[in-house]
Amino acid sequence: MKIFTSWMSWGQAAGPLAEVLPSQAVNRVREAVRFARVQHGVQQRPTGRPYVEHLLEALEVAAAGAQVRDPDVLTAIVLHDVLEDTPCTEKELTRRFGADVTGLVRWVTRPANGRKSDHLATLAEAPAQAVLVKLADRVSNVQELQRMPWRFQKRYYLETVAYILPLAAPHPWFARWYEEWREPWSRRVARYPG
């Protein structure tokens, strides 16, 4: 199973993206990274790492792993948490990146008072582009799940198997990646059920 942690800064992402995307698309993704960095500010991941690293990991998963080339999808991947985790509004996001990107981000944004499981279940009805955003996001989240406390690991594993693996099935690269990830985790969860 490949781990995607090579793009921890825009400088590390820019070269590989320039090899596979037109310059206009690279510039758009660069602007999304700048915008996300400002919006997320000093937010950190649960591991204490800067939040922007998660966004770049998800971008690397999609572009380098799954070979996604759609600029709207790649831009939405970078921006996927701005509506949920920052003061950014849909209006501002649309003004900066367009209605299509905002629509994709909206699909993967959990409603303020909504249950996570209900939100994940609605993704079964999402357009394929929005599903790609969620799949890349979740790869970033689970690829080093062992760093989290055990109760979180177990809950997140079960949630991923129940909701995310079915979403991955129609996308061959993601289906293979998640299956490779699931195998050792299923044994681990079986060994330590508590």
Please identify which of the residues 31, 53, 70, 85 carries the catalytic annotation.
85
In 3D space, the residue among 20, 27, 29 whose CA is nearest the CA of residue 52 turns out to be: 29
Catalytic annotation, pick one of 31, 84, 144, 159: 84
User: Is 100 noted as a catalytic residue in this protein?
Assistant: no
Known active-site residue 159: no
86: helix, coil or strand? coil
> Which residues, including other chains, have CB under 8 Å from residue 27's CB and lie 6 or more apart?
none
- Calpha distance 1→123 (Å, rounded): 25
DSSP symbol at 44: B
- Asked whether the CA dihedral 124, 128, 129, 132 is positive or negative, the reply is positive
**Which active-site residues does the annotation give?**
84-85
